[in-house]
Each structure stands twice: as C-alpha cells, then as structure tokens.
Chain A
Amino acid sequence: MAQVTFDTIGKTYPNGFEALKPTSFGIEPGEFAVLVGPSGCGKSTLLRMVAGLEEITSGELSIAGRVVNDVDPADRDIAMVFQNYALYPHMTVRRNIGYGLKNRGTSKQEIAAKVDEAASLLNLRDYLDRKPSQLSGGQRQRVAMGRAIVRDPALFLFDEPLSNLDAKLRNQMRIEIKALQRRLGVTSIYVTHDQVEAMTMADRIIVMNEGRIEQIGTPSEVYHSPATEFVASFMGAPPMNLMPAELDGGQVRLFGATIGETTHTGDVRAGVRPEDFLPDPEGTLMMNVEIIEELGAHRLLHGTLGDTSVTVQVNNENGAGVGPIKLSIKPGAACLFDRKSGQRL
C-alpha cells in the first residue's frame, strides 16, 4: 500500500498547451480514487504522468514517500491497465502475464506459481496458452488485470479499462475490479468519463474539468454537496437543475418560494437534484410538464419552471399526465452557487 502525493503537479505539452494546471492533493494508502471528467479534461495526462509515460513539467510527485519525477516507469512499482488492453499480441496469455516478472529477475518457478495464482483469481486458467487474438473482450480485460496484479505493485493505474466492453460485461467487471482491489488493498487511480462508474467504485472521486480539479470528495459529498456548478451538472444522471434565484435581504427565493438564507451579495443560482423536488398540492412552485419519461420504478418529468427547463424525478404514483403540477423542494436540499464564479456558497 502506498500513498501518492501530488505537489503542485502541472503539465504543459511541448506545443505549449497547458493540459494540467498546477494542483496539490494526496491519495491515501489503499484508497480507490476515481478521476472523472469530460473528454479532453486531462485525466489521461494526469494518470500517464503518474505512470512515467508523460513527463512532469512542474511540481513533485511522490509514490510511497519517494519522489519519482525522474524515475523510469519500470522502476516506479506501478502497474497500468490500458483502455485497449495493450496486450502483447505475439505472446500467449501466460507470457503476457509473466513478462513483467521475467524482466525483474524472478525465477522461473516463481513466475509460474505467480502466473497460476493470478490466473485462478481471474478465471483465466483455461486460456493460459492462447494468444490474445483468441480471446473475447472480457477475457482480454482479465489478462490485462492479471498482468497488473501479478507483480504485486504499490499502485494500480486504470485508464478507462471498461469502455470497450458492452454494458452488461461492464457492470460485471466493475464489481470484479472493485472486489479485487478491496481484497488486494492496493492503492488505485482509476480514470473514467462515466459518472456511474465513478459513483459506484470510488472511495473518493476527483472531478476534473479543463485541466483543473473541481472537487475531491467521497461519492456522497460530490453528489450531495457539489463544490461548483460544473460538478453539479456533471455528476448525476439526469444532472442537477440549475435555476436563477433571487436574494431578498438574506433570504434566497426561487420563483417566489424561500429556499434558504445567505449573507452573499450578487447574482446566485440554485441547484436542486431532480429527486429533491416533491409533488405537493400545497407547493408554491408551478411546473409545466411537457414530456414524461417512464423508467419503471420512477418517472422523469421534463418541463419548465418559470422560464427555466427542469427535470424532476417522481415515484410512479405521481405525475402521470402532462400539464401543470405543483412542487415543493425538500428542506435543505438546494445548493447555492455564485453566478459569476460558479463556486458553491
């Protein structure tokens, strides 16, 4: 188990593009940290800097207390699982898994024993003598995992390892990877742009946007108290509703209803999760429902509140028809953001 410390780590590519603005944070020993953010926000860049595949242009990176900026990838005691698996096509599964050990001077017997152990753990025993081209996507994914765990590294790095799998397999592998990580207790950094993956797997989520880290927190923190409007709108499907609110002498009003208090001055926006609206005959918010999405256990109502489009989630006893519906907001559920900076108040 290793701690990973980022000390004002930044990345500027040779073409002058700043892919990562200098940031500092740490990942605790044994933690499963998920890096999430939209495409191009710099997730892979950050991960590859940890792996040593991309040069660190500013700051200091430590793994298990050792500064690794200038350490060769092979000497960082890390293992990486790539999106396209990156298996060696000309080697059998056995040799693929054992290759890293062989180069570290492990004895033949020990390699055989470790490969066998990893293969049993991953249900790969029957495939050890096959070439990667003779395996299914899920099996290749397992081989890539095997190659990572067999070396017993201090840190696992995953770069969207599940995005080439179909939805069902993805759910299954998600659980397997998480269970494996729990069992081995190896510190892990997992990159994904799928916020469901992030929510379900992470001990802590690191939300990134345009080379910046927007928030670091547990899935529940990130979901219920997003630090910025970006996090609010990125996490959760459907995302949080953001609506203009008015300040009236310390009281925050949303379409006439009082939803909180603040000492802040200036324009603010209120964020409310779809499930935090309640259908309420006494409610003061009048929503005009235009489209109903039936999802079985619940319904999504799409429509407008004032002149802002909103999405509301209700259980299936409510909201059966289009047209006006009266709503109220769960007490304390609304988040307030500064209009200009997008920061939470």
Chain B
Amino acid sequence: MKRAGFDTLSLPVLLLLPQLVIIAVFFYWPTIVALQSSFYLQDPFGFGSTFVGLQNYADLFSSREYRKIAWFTVTFSILVTFFSLAIALVLAVKADKVLRGAKTYRTLLMWVYAVAPPVAGFIAVIMFNQSWGPLTEFFGLFGHTYMVGVNFNDTAFAMILASVWKQVPVNFIFFLSGLQSIPRSVREAAMIDNRSATSRFWDVTFPLLAPTGFFLLIINITYSLFDTFGIVDTVVKGEPGNNPMTLVYKVYVDGFRGNDLGGSSAQSVILMVLVLALTIFQFRLIERRIHYT
C-alpha cells in the first residue's frame, strides 16, 4: 500500500501539537512530579523538602499497614472482577436466549452504568443503613447485626457489593454483543454435534467469548483497582480508622489527609508500575494469542 506523506516535518508536528501538549501537561508532567517527590520527604507544613532517596519506598515495604492494605486490595480486586464478570456472563447468556423484550431488558440493565461511583457507594450506604437499611434488615433475619463503617468485614462486603453492582452492566453489554457475534451456524453445528447445552457452552461458546473475556478482565482489574475510589470513599465516609481501603484510597488518605506527599507519591509510582505491567500484559500476551480469525 502506498502511504501518503508530508514533505516537511513542521506541518505534522503542528497538527499533532495540541494533542502532544495535552498529554505532556496532564500525563507526563504529573508523572515526573510524582516520581520526583517520591524521593523527597516533605515538611508537613510546606516548608521545603529533604532528599531521602529510596527511603519512602523502603518505609512502605516495611509497613505492616501498607502490606495489609495491599493484601486487601488484591482480595477486593479478585472478588470484584470475578463476580462482575461471572454475574454479567450469566445474565448475558440468559438475555441472549430471550428474543422478545431483549431491548428493554438491555436498556434497563444499562441504566446502572450511568450511575456515578460515589452515588453507587451512597446507594450501598443507604441499603446498609444501620437502623432501616433493607439489607441490614435482611442480614438481621440471620441474627447478624450489620454495621457498615464499624465492622471490617461488613464494610468490605458493602464495598464489594456496590462495586460489582456498578460494573455488571458494562460487562453484560460486552458479553452480550460477544455472544451475538458468534455466527448462528457455528452454534447450530454444535447443536448437531453435541446434545448437552452445558458442554456446548464450555466447548464452543465460552472459548469464542475468550477475546471479549480477556479484554473485560483487564478493564475490570483496572476498574476494581482505581475506579472504585468513589465507592470506597462514600462507604468509608472519610473515616479510615480500622476500615478496609484500597491502595488508591490510601494514596489519597496519606497525601491529602496525612500530608505525607513523599510517601503518597511513592505509592502512586508503585501503582503506575502496576498499570504499566497490566498494559504490557494485555498488549503482549492477550492481543496476540486470543484471536481466531
């Protein structure tokens, strides 16, 4: 194929400039600043800073609290990702079979997607309200006094529930369109080859959904790590105390509540490395392997 080109360098640079400026100002500059300040110890009252090398990182890795939060974040992400994907897949498979009313069903489910994370968190808080929340009453039936913000596990459960609920619609839409892009004749051929609908699902439908599934896996891990900030914030109500929190929330708590900008920056850098690793994983392994045609 013949490619169109520019004779001079100035025009393409000029055309790209707005984009480059935006990327530089909003992505690279903050990254550099974060990287830089992660090597310094800031004075809590803003009177200058001292270079401490890797001390901030060393402090983090030796901190029991940080390790505990990291561990919680991993558990939280695995649970949120797994349940968001699993529930969405079940719903999509069911919806795929429905012919009448499929559109209404899809639209209704999609509405949840439009709910902002803090609102989702707020809804969870209401559902788990100490005195009249319906879910609190539900757990009360089993003799469990549900206490969001007091009991660690109760709070964690509320966070997970809200995060899953918020993410299911997106996954559902992707899974449904993934299912619908499987050629009808392939499924029909499978019907002739295999009597059992369950084993047909695992042998044919599920592998053909794998590209969609892996894409969603990355999206969901990223979501549970970062985009759940609003939910965590609402459920915790800004009172970290003994409550569960994720690494991203910890960055905020240490940086803006604790005024430990250096430590907070070091945490951001660690998260950035994590995202980088995820991205590389996605591009390298997945994009290459899991495509059929």
Which residues of A does B touch, CB under 8 Å? 51-53, 72-75, 78-80, 82-84, 86-90, 99-100, 103, 131, 133, 147
Which residue on A lies nearest to B196, using beta carbons? A103
Is B19 an interface residue when CB atoms closer than 8 A count as contact? no
From known contacts A74-B195, A103-B194, infer whether A86 and B189 are also in contact, taking CB-CB under 8 Å: yes
Which residues of B lie under 8 Å from residue A51 when comparing CB positions? 188, 192
Instruction: Assess the B193–A86 pair: CB atoms within 8 A.
Output: no
Which residues of A lie under 8 Å from residue B210 when comparing CB positions? 90
Instruction: Assess the A74–B188 pair: CB atoms within 8 A.
Output: no
Instruction: Assess the A72–B292 pair: CB atoms within 8 A.
Output: no
Complex alpha-carbon distance, A12 and B258, angstroms:
72
Chain B binding surface SS class: helix
A-B Cβ contacts below 8 A, count: 64
Complex alpha-carbon distance, A74 and B195, angstroms:
5
Which residue on B lies nearest to A82, using beta carbons? B185
Complex alpha-carbon distance, A332 and B96, angstroms:
59
Distance in angstroms from B200 CB to nearest chain A CB is 9
Complex alpha-carbon distance, A182 and B122, angstroms:
72
From known contacts A72-B195, A74-B193, A88-B204, infer whether A53 and B292 are also in contact, taking CB-CB under 8 Å: no
Complex alpha-carbon distance, A72 and B192, angstroms:
8
Q: Which of B183, B188, B199 interacts with A53 by CB under 8 Å?
A: B188
Distance in angstroms from B221 CB to nearest chain A CB is 24
Which residues of B lie under 8 Å from residue A88 when comparing CB positions? 186, 189-190, 204
**How many chain B residues touch A (Cβ–Cβ < 8 Å)?**
20
Which residues of B lie under 8 Å from residue A87 when comparing CB positions? 186, 189
Which residues of B lie under 8 Å from residue A74 when comparing CB positions? 191-195
Which residue on B lies nearest to A101, using beta carbons? B193
Which residues of B lie under 8 Å from residue A79 when comparing CB positions? 192
Instruction: Assess the B194–A100 pair: CB atoms within 8 A.
Output: yes
Which residues of B does A touch, CB under 8 Å? 183, 185-186, 188-196, 199, 203-204, 207-208, 210, 292-293
Which residues of B lie under 8 Å from residue A103 when comparing CB positions? 193-196, 199
Distance in angstroms from B67 CB to nearest chain A CB is 40
Given contacts A53-B191, A86-B185, 18 further A-B contacts (CB under 8 A): A51-B188, A51-B192, A74-B191, A74-B193, A79-B192, A80-B189, A82-B185, A84-B183, A86-B186, A87-B186, A88-B190, A89-B186, A89-B292, A90-B207, A99-B193, A100-B194, A103-B199, A133-B293
Distance in angstroms from B86 CB to nearest chain A CB is 21
The listed residue with most A CB atoms (<10 A of its CB), out of B185, B189, B192, B193, is B192
Which residues of A lie under 8 Å from residue B190 when comparing CB positions? 88, 99
The listed residue with most B CB atoms (<10 A of its CB), out of A73, A79, A83, A131, is A73
Instruction: Assess the A86–B183 pair: CB atoms within 8 A.
Output: yes
Which residue on B lies nearest to A79, using beta carbons? B192
Complex alpha-carbon distance, A100 and B203, angstroms:
12
Instruction: Assess the A90–B185 pair: CB atoms within 8 A.
Output: no
From known contacts A86-B183, A89-B208, infer whether A99 and B203 are also in contact, taking CB-CB under 8 Å: yes
Distance in angstroms from A275 CB to nearest chain B CB is 40
Instruction: Assess the A133–B292 pair: CB atoms within 8 A.
Output: yes
Distance in angstroms from B111 CB to nearest chain A CB is 29
Complex alpha-carbon distance, A83 and B204, angstroms:
19
Instruction: Assess the A73–B191 pair: CB atoms within 8 A.
Output: yes
Distance in angstroms from A282 CB to nearest chain B CB is 58
Instruction: Assess the A99–B191 pair: CB atoms within 8 A.
Output: no
Offer 14 A-B interface pairs, CB within 8 angstroms, sorted by A.
Answer: A52-B192, A53-B192, A73-B188, A73-B191, A74-B194, A82-B185, A84-B183, A86-B185, A86-B189, A89-B186, A99-B194, A100-B193, A131-B292, A133-B292
